[in-house]
Structure 1
């Protein structure tokens, strides 16, 4: 399954890249992200791998990100691998005449097991919606400083 999501961020591309290219800030716009762990390669460059650790309440998972193109401020491409699914994502950033940033994210979902294939077939809008939410969270974080990060509380 392939789809494209677009978002206009009312900030200059230089400011957008400072946040987008920071693994430490990713938790402020990717809901459920607890931490990132460098696995291999030079961080932020072609071939680098990083583990993204998520907590969705009853469901905890790790997703492996491998950078396939790092040409910021214009492009950032990566493959994401998790149980049953591989996501190929190509992100393009364009500076508008108004000095804003247009973010275009092209996504291809490749199921690697029957269960995920069925989920994609039966609920394709779920995956598109999740991408759109993350992109809009980034927009709100950039424009208004609103973070989705909720630190775990100890009792």
Structure 2
């Protein structure tokens, strides 16, 4: 399953990119986020691994590409799913940025997750878009505080 979500953010591309790559801010836009623990590699670089802990799940993130503000791509592994996320930021103007997230699920493990995928495929896209909307709100709020 593959899908793309996009949203415009009223803040400059470099500002948006800096907020996106800072794990301290994840708690402000990803519901249930608890922590990000570095496991191996150079933090923020290709092949770096981290454990992302949320209230209801844990993911292992492996960075594939990190050329922000242009592109970020990572592999996310969970006991029930495997997916990649590719993020691009495009400057629409000096103060407006398009945030594009392309998600591709490559594995669903377990009966329940396979049933959910078949019955409610849109729930995965809705969750990604919700976090993107949360990030937009966070960025715009933080940017307006400083300008």
Q: Please say if 1:137 is aligned against 2:134.
A: yes
Distance 1:94 1:120 in 2: 31
Q: Secondary structure at the match of 1:142?
A: helix
In the alignment, which of 89, 94, 97 is matched to residue 93 of structure 1? 89
Are the equivalent residues in 2 in contact too, given 1:69–1:78 (CA < 8 A)? yes
Are the equivalent residues in 1 in contact too, given 2:11–2:140 (CA < 8 A)? yes
User: Any idea what the Cα deviations from partners look like across 1:57-90, whole Å, max 9, x if unmatched?
Assistant: xxx3211111100001110001111111001111
Q: Please say if 1:67 is aligned against 2:63.
A: yes
Are the equivalent residues in 2 in contact too, given 1:11–1:99 (CA < 8 A)? yes
Distance 1:96 1:112 in 2: 36
Distance 2:90 2:67 in 1: 12
Q: In structure 1, what is the equivalent of residue 123 of structure 2?
A: 126
Q: In structure 1, what is the equivalent of residue 145 of structure 2?
A: none
State the number of aligned residues: 141
Let me know the Cα RMSD of the aligned residues.
1.2
Q: Secondary structure at the match of 2:42?
A: coil
Structure with greater helix percent = 2
In the alignment, which of 109, 121, 126 is matched to residue 113 of structure 1? 109
Distance 1:47 1:98 in 2: 32
Distance 2:2 2:108 in 1: 15
**Stretches of structure 2 lacking an aligned partner (at least 5 in a row):** 143-147
**1:112 shift after superposition:** 3.5
- TM-score, normalization: structure 1? 0.86
